[in-house]
Amino acid sequence: MATRRYSDSFYRAAVLGVKDEQGNRIPGLRSVARGFKGSDGYDMRRPLSPARKRRVREYWHELQQLNSQPKVLFRTPVRKNLKRAQAIVGQDLRFQFKVAFIPHVPVRGQPRPQIEVTDDSVVVETKTQQNEFLEFNPSALARNPGKEIDRIISEGGKDSFYHIRADVHMIKLLFDAAKLKTKVFDLMRQYDGHRPLPSRSKNKDDRPRDHYWGRWLKGVQVVRLKKLSAREKDSILNRFTAADKRNKQINVELRKKALK
């Protein structure tokens, strides 16, 4: 199979960033990852070596995965807090990113959310809602899934809504506490590593063990809505879809750069 050729404009955009069609700045690898400065060998006025081009492509692919859903960038000088935040939201720690990509749907006109990192959670606070990221204990989930899900619900709250987290992604549907338990049980049964993958899955032809739930079922995002009208709540719950479409458009524009 022929190797795909990437243009010089792709490498420049991937490292330095690029403006989209609306004039918004899409950050490049130099802004969010370590080791892409000119002094590191990434002077974009000069040709890159094959090894450096390969590293750009690897990081760019990972950045695409991280940006496939709406995120807010979390920066902190406290290295421990950064690593903890990255681990909780499911980032691959083999990549040396300088930021944590925290799932969050931004609201035009509202200030940047407040982010707090503790030993076992990340909390994102806005004027209208509080989101908290909680991790499953993998061994506890395997031994007694009902008890482990009850622990999560006890911490998150019975009146909260929940997104299930699959690696760095969120399952877009929101579940209440009762439906959360049912859905997690369903996912563990469908992706037990033995039975064929669901027919609706994009990966249905892969080996079942490659999609075993223990590889990707990481935790939940708790959504606590503050006192709002029914109309405001509907607006918040529908906002994710619009932001998701915007992120897909950004990824398409970067791919266009790669082919120029």
CA 104 to chain centre: 9
Supply φ then ψ for residue 165, to 5 degrees.
-100, 125
Give ∠ CA 76-82-88 in degrees, rounded to 5. 140
* Burial class (CB within 10 angstroms; exposed 0-12, middle 13-18, buried 19+) of 21: exposed
Residue pointed to by tokens 């590191």:
40
Tokens coding 117: 């990192």
Residues 6+ apart with CB under 8 A from 214: 138, 142, 193
The pLDDT of residue 167 is 81
Tokens coding 225: 């809505």
* Residues in the chain, pLDDT under 70: 1-4, 22, 106-109, 227-260
Tokens coding 208: 């079942």
pTM of the complete model: 0.75
124-158 burial: b if 16+ Cβ within 10 Å, else e: bebeebbbbbbbbeeeebeeebeebbebbbeebee
Give ∠ CA 161-167-171 in degrees, rounded to 5. 35
The pairing of strands 121-125 and 114-117 is antiparallel
- Answer left, alpha or beta for residue 157, where phi above 0 means left and psi between -120 and 50 means alpha: left
Tens-place pLDDT, residues 13-52: 999 988 777 677 778 999 999 999 999 999 999 999 999 9
Tokens coding 219: 């935790």
Residue among 214, 223, 243 at smallest CA distance from 133: 223
- 3-class secondary-structure state, position 45: coil
Q: How many CA atoms lie within 13 A of 12 on its CB side?
A: 12
The pLDDT of residue 26 is 79
Give ∠ CA 144-147-152 in degrees, rounded to 5. 125
The pLDDT of residue 241 is 53
**DSSP-assigned beta bridge partners for residue 24:** none
The pLDDT of residue 257 is 44
Gap between the Cα atoms of 148 and 145, Å rounded: 5
Gap between the Cα atoms of 89 and 165, Å rounded: 8
The pLDDT of residue 239 is 58
Query: Helices (DSSP H) in 144-176: which residue ranges?
Result: 145-156
